[in-house]
């Protein structure tokens, strides 16, 4: 078992990683007050709800089981959470628990940020993506029909419990999607970690527990450090969007739901590497290495068939990360060294898009 800390002064919190974490001794000390609202979904509830309920049985507990899927990550679904809390007369001293993947985490987190102007919440992420990324850092929110994650708040959890036992039921495609974010950390800031991922990719896909624990530990260490330095994304936190500018364009083009987020990020990272090559920072063998790792992870390495450079330009023009109308990209100076570039010349971008699109 490993415990890391997200150092945010009086809002610092632990990330606990390992098997068999669902015990009262571990969970209860992080709950303040008497009331606990467990938020989960219809897929995760039959698998893991009972062990969580057992760990919090000393408290006054209510449960909300949400419908599964990104399509439900909107304001109307939040009402189910608020209604359950209000019907049980939960006070500002209640603690919410998010038990599920990133969708449940984002919704339960936003509900916790806004219920009676803010209550505490714990994250118990159950997908690899949520364990290495979305449960850490305090970004919460829901989608609007006009844009993904457009309604939200920064609200840090009081603890994160990444129980590696819970990954055993994860479908292989979801595991690969989580690996995309793991690869992202190696690519953006740690060449040694990248090499380690390359050497362990088969073990990771086979759910080797030691390899997974190490991947989660390294990823969370990097995310925690980036969040400590830049909680509200004024600077270095933007690097976490490596591959995401292109990935979001793919998701928007496909209308969300066809490709998983991590799959779009896989292709997006190869595209970011190709732009980096076009501007002279990487060479062809670096791009091939990124593509080969994504492929070994079970991820796409090219945009969906039929998606054109102009489709990318249309979607990227409205990216939330753009500043004052300039497109912002996270590019690579080298594998393991990302930077923000808002002055990519149009020819290089266009050449990269043409190379990457089918």
Ligand X SMILES: NC(=O)c1ccc[n+]([C@@H]2O[C@H](COP(=O)([O-])OP(=O)(O)OC[C@H]3O[C@@H](n4cnc5c(N)ncnc54)[C@H](O)[C@@H]3O)[C@@H](O)[C@H]2O)c1
Task: Write out the catalytic residue numbers.
Answer: 117, 139, 181, 223, 233, 237, 241, 244, 248, 261
Stretch that binds ligand X, among 16-24, 28-36, 125-133, 308-316 (CB under 6 A): 125-133
- Per CB under 6 A, 127 contacts ligand X: yes
**By three-state DSSP, how is residue 226 classified?**
helix
- Per CB under 6 A, 176 contacts ligand X: no
Per-residue tokens: 117: 């102007």
- Going residue by residue from 105 to 124, which x/- string records binding to ligand X, judged by CB under 6 A? -x------------------
C-beta of residue 251 within 8 angstroms of C-beta of residue 240: no
- Per CB under 6 A, 279 contacts ligand X: no
Q: What's the closest the beta carbon of residue 75 comes to ligand X, in angstroms?
A: 14
DSSP letter (8 states) at residue 74: B
> What angle in degrees, to the nearest 10, is found between the helix axes of 172-189 and 284-296?
150
Q: What's the closest the beta carbon of residue 149 comes to ligand X, in angstroms?
A: 5
C-beta of residue 84 within 8 angstroms of C-beta of residue 36: no
Contacting ligand X (CB under 6 A), which of 129, 162, 188, 216?
A: 129
- Per CB under 6 A, 231 contacts ligand X: no
C-beta of residue 124 within 8 angstroms of C-beta of residue 52: yes
Q: What is the rounded distance in angstroms from the CA atom of residue 210 to the CA atom of residue 203? A: 9
Stretch that binds ligand X, among 131-139, 190-198, 313-321, 344-352 (CB under 6 A): 131-139
- Per CB under 6 A, 44 contacts ligand X: yes
Contacting ligand X (CB under 6 A), which of 134, 158, 213, 245?
A: 134
- Per CB under 6 A, 174 contacts ligand X: yes
DSSP letter (8 states) at residue 148: E
Contacting ligand X (CB under 6 A), which of 35, 43, 218, 245?
A: 43
Scanning 58-101, the segments in alpha helix (DSSP H) are: 75-87
Binders of ligand X among residues 259 to 278 (CB under 6 A) are 261
- Per CB under 6 A, 209 contacts ligand X: no
- Per CB under 6 A, 296 contacts ligand X: no
DSSP codes joined into one string, 106-142: HHHHHHHHHGGG--EEEEEE-SHHIIIIITSS-EEEE
Give Cα separations from 112 to 82, 91, 115, 329 (angstroms). 9, 12, 5, 32
Using CB under 6 A as the criterion, which residues of the chain lie in contact with ligand X when the complex forms? 41, 43-44, 47, 68, 70, 73, 100-104, 106, 126-127, 129-130, 133-134, 137, 139, 149, 166-167, 169-170, 174, 177, 261
């Amino acid at each position: 078992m490993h415990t890391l800390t997200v150092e945010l002064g009086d809002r610092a919190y632990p990330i606990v990683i390992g098997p068999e974490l669902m015990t009262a001794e571990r969970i209860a000390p992080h709950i303040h007050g008497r009331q606990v609202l467990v938020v989960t979904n219809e897929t995760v509830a039959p698998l893991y709800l009972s062990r969580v309920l057992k760990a919090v049985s000393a408290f006054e507990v209510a449960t909300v089981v949400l419908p599964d899927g990104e399509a439900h990550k909107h304001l109307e679904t939040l009402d189910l959470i608020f209604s359950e809390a209000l019907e049980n007369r939960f006070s500002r001293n209640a603690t919410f628990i998010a038990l599920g993947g990133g969708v449940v985490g984002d919704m339960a987190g936003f509900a916790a940020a806004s219920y009676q102007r803010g209550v505490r919440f714990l994250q118990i992420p159950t997908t690899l993506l949520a364990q290495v990324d979305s449960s850490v850092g305090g970004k919460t929110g829901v989608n609007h029909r006009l844009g993904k994650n457009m309604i939200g708040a920064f609200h840090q959890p009081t603890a994160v419990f990444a129980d590696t036992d819970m990954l055993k039921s994860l479908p292989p495609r979801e595991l690969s999607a989580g690996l995309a974010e793991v690869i992202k950390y190696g690519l953006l800031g740690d060449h040694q970690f990248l090499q380690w991922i390359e050497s362990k990719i088969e073990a990771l896909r086979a759910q080797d527990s030691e390899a997974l624990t190490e991947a989660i530990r390294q990823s969370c260490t990097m995310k925690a450090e980036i969040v400590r330095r830049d909680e509200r994304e004024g600077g270095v936190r933007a690097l976490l969007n490596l591959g995401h500018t292109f990935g979001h364009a793919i998701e928007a083009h496909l209308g969300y739901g066809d490709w998983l987020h991590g799959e779009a990020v896989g292709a997006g990272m190869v595209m970011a590497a190709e732009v980096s090559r076009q501007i002279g920072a990487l060479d062809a063998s670096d791009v091939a290495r990124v593509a080969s790792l994504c492929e070994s992870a079970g991820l796409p390495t090219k945009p969906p068939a039929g998606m054109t450079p102009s489709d990318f330009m249309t979607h990227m023009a409205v990216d939330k990360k753009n500043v004052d109308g300039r497109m912002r990209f996270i590019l690579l100076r080298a594998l393991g060294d990302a930077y923000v570039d808002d002055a990519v010349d149009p020819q290089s971008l266009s050449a990269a898009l043409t190379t990457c699109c089918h």
